[in-house]
Amino acid sequence: MGNLSHEIMTLELAALERWNNGDPDGYLALYDEDITYIDPEQRIEGRENMVRYYEAVRGKVFVESYELQNPVVQPLGEGAAVLSFNLISRAGDRQWPWNCTEVYRRKPDGRWKIAHNHWSLMKQPG
Amino acid sequence: MGNLSHEIMTLELAALERWNNGDPDGYLALYDEDITYIDPEQRIEGRENMVRYYEAVRGKVFVESYELQNPVVQPLGEGAAVLSFNLISRAGDRQWPWNCTEVYRRKPDGRWKIAHNHWSLMKQPG
């Protein structure tokens, strides 16, 4: 795994671990001001609106175990990268098979921020 | 609409119009060699695999009418941009409410290519 992939995956996994324990602040710290966000129920623009959306679920998300599968990081010029992966999240008897896209951009101070995030559910057999 | 948005939207709409008439070559010409692709049923890596996937539906997709809603183009440094939009595609009595992400990167020769494409269906009420 290259340096870029390592750097991006480290950020993503830290945010995801917090999310899986009811804490949205990892993702909120990564979201850039102009973040665009898609999930099966919402399409949201702007970090302020994401704060409102995630505050409503703070302390309510508990994922007992997960598998992050086949992450791919593609560089986009010097200052950006796109990460895509599958994520199987499990809690009790349920599981959710996610597709995820995270578009990262490097800010002038060198930190990475997420400009776009798209979550969707894989069609399950049957 | 800025120059960047105009340039990206022109490429996307031309590819979409062809797709809606059974012709995948518009998208295939835009997909970069390392394209990563997600739809509700598939996750695919590499242009060669996308050619195989789309050849199987050549001449079979016919969208009678569509509305492309709320496109947003975000620049990612100098050489990339992410486009997100909703698309309502209609044929006969059916309609499909899509979320779409297209990650474009500019190649050394100045042309734009798609590095990542994520299609998902919006949850429909009821």
Sheet strands side by side (includes A65-75): A43-45, A31-38, A112-121, A94-106, A80-91, A65-75
- Exposure string of B50-64, with b = 16+ CB inside 10 Å and e = fewer, is beeebeeeeeebebe
pLDDT of residue B1: 63
Pairing of strands B65-75, B80-91: antiparallel
The chain A residues in contact with chain B (CB within 8 A) are 34, 36, 38, 40-41, 43, 45, 70, 72, 74, 76-80, 82, 84, 86, 99, 101, 103, 105-106, 115-116, 118, 120-123
Query: What SS3 state is found at B20?
Result: coil
Q: Is B40 close to A123, i.e. CB distance below 8 A?
A: yes
pLDDT of residue B53: 97
Q: Which chain A residues are Cβ-neighbours of B85 within 8 angstroms?
A: none
Q: Is B118 close to A101, i.e. CB distance below 8 A?
A: yes
Q: ipTM > 0.90? A: yes
pLDDT of residue B125: 66
pLDDT of residue B44: 98
pLDDT of residue A2: 82
pTM, to two decimals = 0.96
pLDDT of residue A43: 97
Q: How far is CA A31 from the centre of its chain?
A: 9
What are the angstrom distances between the C-alpha of A60 and each of A17, A64, A65, B73? 14, 13, 15, 32
Q: Which chain B residues are Cβ-neighbours of A116 within 8 angstroms?
A: 74, 82, 84, 101, 103
Contact by Cβ (8 Å): B98, B67: no
Task: Residue B30: name the closest of B20, B49, B16 by CA.
Answer: B16
Q: Is B76 close to A41, i.e. CB distance below 8 A?
A: no
Q: Residue B109 — φ and ψ, nearest 5°?
A: -85, 5
Q: Is A116 close to B106, i.e. CB distance below 8 A?
A: no
Give the tens place of pLDDT for each residue, A98-123. Answer: 999 999 999 999 999 999 999 999 98
Q: Which chain B residues are Cβ-neighbours of A121 within 8 angstroms?
A: 40, 120
* Cα–Cα distance for residue pair A102/A85, rounded to 1 Å: 9
The share of chain B scoring above pLDDT 90, in percent, equals 93
Q: Is B80 close to A77, i.e. CB distance below 8 A?
A: yes
Give the distance from residue B69's alpha carbon to the nearest chain A alpha carbon, in angstroms: 11
Angle at A62 between CA A96 and CA A23, to 5 degrees: 115
